[in-house]
Amino acid sequence: MKEMYPKKGRVILHVDMNSFYASVEMAFDPSLKGKPLAIAGNPKERRGIIVTCSYEARKYGVKTTMPIWEAKKLCPQLIVMSPNFERYRAASHGMFDILHEYSELVEPVSIDEGYVDITDSYELGSPLEIAERIQKQILSQLDLPCSIGVAPNRFLAKMASDMKKPLGITVLRKRDVEKVLWPLPVVEMHGVGKKTAEKLNTIDVFTIKDLAMANDIQLKALLGINGLRLKERANGIDDRPIDPEAANEFKSVGNSTTLPSDIANQHQLLLVLESLAEKVAARMKRKKVMAASIGITIRYKDRKTITRSKKLLNPVSQKEEIYAESKQLFLKNWNGDSIRLLGVTGADLIEKEQAVKQLDFFSYEREAKKEPLLETVERLRLKYGKGIIDRAVEKAPIKDSKENITSETSFSKDFLDFFSDE
């Protein structure tokens, strides 16, 4: 089989699960198979947006990010379910376990997709045979469909996996680029979003071929160094290795929430901010990091969005510290209008062991005294629930606050959390 592999190049697979959340629900409950199914937020609230849907639902025109009311209009028989992230994480674990049977070089890029370098896996069969075996194994063991791209690099493997769905396997060689990729609109190229495509259109770049042939100086002026990288991709060039540790390299930890209704009450908004700070602190603790800067996101009722951040004198990781900094940023930048979304982010992360605080004597004393208390509170919350102990102030109740205000609405594939919970 070794002769079926390149002597100097690589063989990369991109494994992309098909309609992952919906497929997991169908595997869990086979009675859902063959029916139009959508996974979404709470249908009774504004954040009822389609996260993913089955291919049966797509036939009716149902799409990701579509409001539930619109999807129901297109497909009255649509079954709408809330997400079950524990179920999806378990399925993802199973999928990546299978990929590791074929190579040690597996790089997860989200909860439902990853790259596999099978260059040295020739004893297991030809590249196409390995792709077929992986696809069949995931389907037979997990009852989940996937599409696989087979190519000499990451970019081409990703483009290939998108070409046949569901249950497709596509081989895309470098010599195929001109015939297969170049005729496509530039917006269909991986790494080029709608806004980037609009910018490229201004310099008469409309297809992937146009990008492959574009002027370097124009591209760099328009998009910076990323413009030149995109041109390389358009020519089928991508030397990035498959890095199993890449999922652990992150620069920020954030949480955001869409409010059930537009809120202009400062007290209520600060309670939301405190809840977000607590979630960010919990995630940072799991990752054993501290943040050297804190940022906030404010989206107003007219959808105007602002982000503000500040560098900190000393890195922080505790909820109280994150809340204090984000509160200060919020009060300084909020214009008083009604808000529909709030977010808190800890950035410029430092491993806890490497974080050196520049503390004066009194602040050091305060930090040292707080640590045993915080550890005790954390143990009590873990044992009896997070509501067992809370500060007496700022506990004015909000109707349905637990159900509505603190519910996260981001369904992005948080694979960093996924891998840190091992």
Place of tokens 């984000």: 326
Give the pair of three-digit tokens for residue 30. 């086979």
Question: In angstroms, rounded to a whole number, what is the distance separating the alpha carbons of residues 299 and 409?
Answer: 14
34 in the same domain as 124: yes
> How many domains does the structure of the chain reveal?
3
Per the listing, tokens 């990288």 go with 229
Q: Is 274 a catalytic residue?
A: no
Q: Is residue 378 part of a domain?
A: no
Q: Which of 72, 35, 31 is nearest to 50 (CA)?
A: 72
Instruction: Quick: pLDDT tens for 69-86.
Output: 899 999 999 999 988 888
Query: 70: buried, middle or exposed (CB in 10 Å: 19+, 13-18, 0-12)?
Result: middle
Number of residues written out for the chain: 422
Instruction: Establish if 93 belongs to a structural domain.
Output: yes
Whether 5 and 93 map to the same domain: the answer is yes
CA proximity to 165, closest of 178, 147, 181: 147
State how far the alpha carbon of 135 is from the alpha carbons of 32, 158, 411, 413, 420, in Å.
Answer: 22, 16, 25, 21, 26
Based on the domain organization, do 47 and 145 belong to the same domain? yes
Q: Give the phi and the psi of residue 111 in degrees, each rounded to 5.
A: -65, -20
SS3 338: coil
Q: pLDDT tens for residues 127-162? A: 999 999 999 999 999 999 999 999 999 999 999 999
Same domain for 9 and 88, yes or no, is yes
Same domain as 161, residue 43: yes
Low-confidence ranges of the chain (pLDDT < 50): 46, 356-368, 391-422
Report which residue type is found at 61.
Answer: G
Q: Are residues 294 and 211 in the same domain?
A: no
133 and 13 assigned to the same domain: yes
Quick one: 411 and 334 in the same domain? yes
- Same domain? 112 vs 214: no
386 belongs to a structural domain: no
How many Å apart are CA 290 and CA 178, to the nearest integer?
A: 47
Domain containing residue 35: CATH number: 3.30.70.270
Cα 148 from Cα 17, distance rounded (Å)? 9
Whole domain around residue 7: which residue ranges? 1-172
Q: Is 190 in the same domain as 168? A: no
Helix residue ranges, H only, 291-360: 319-333
Q: How far apart are the first and last CA of the chain?
A: 36
Task: Please give the single-letter amino acid code of residue 366.
Answer: R
d(CA 49, CA 258): 12
Residues 194 and 270 in one domain: no
Residue 382 resides in a domain: no
Per-residue pLDDT, 304:
87
pLDDT at 345: 93
d(CA 21, CA 90): 11
Selected catalytic residue, list 56, 113, 274, 278: 113
Residues 148 and 286 in one domain: no
Q: How far apart are CA 395 and CA 270, in angstroms?
A: 11
Q: Which long-range contacts (CB under 8 A, 24 or more apart) does 59-67 make?
A: 60/36, 62/36, 62/38
Phi, psi of 16 (to 5 degrees): -125, 115
Q: 3 burial class (0-12, 13-18, 19+ CB within 10 angstroms)?
A: exposed
Single out the residue in 172, 189, 210 at which a domain terminates.
172
Which pLDDT belongs to residue 379? 61
DSSP class of residue 193 equals: -
112 is in an annotated binding site: yes
Distances (CA, A) of 325 to 11, 246, 317, 328, 348: 47, 30, 11, 5, 15
Known binder of ligand: residue 400?
Answer: no
The reported pLDDT for the residue numbered 394 is 37
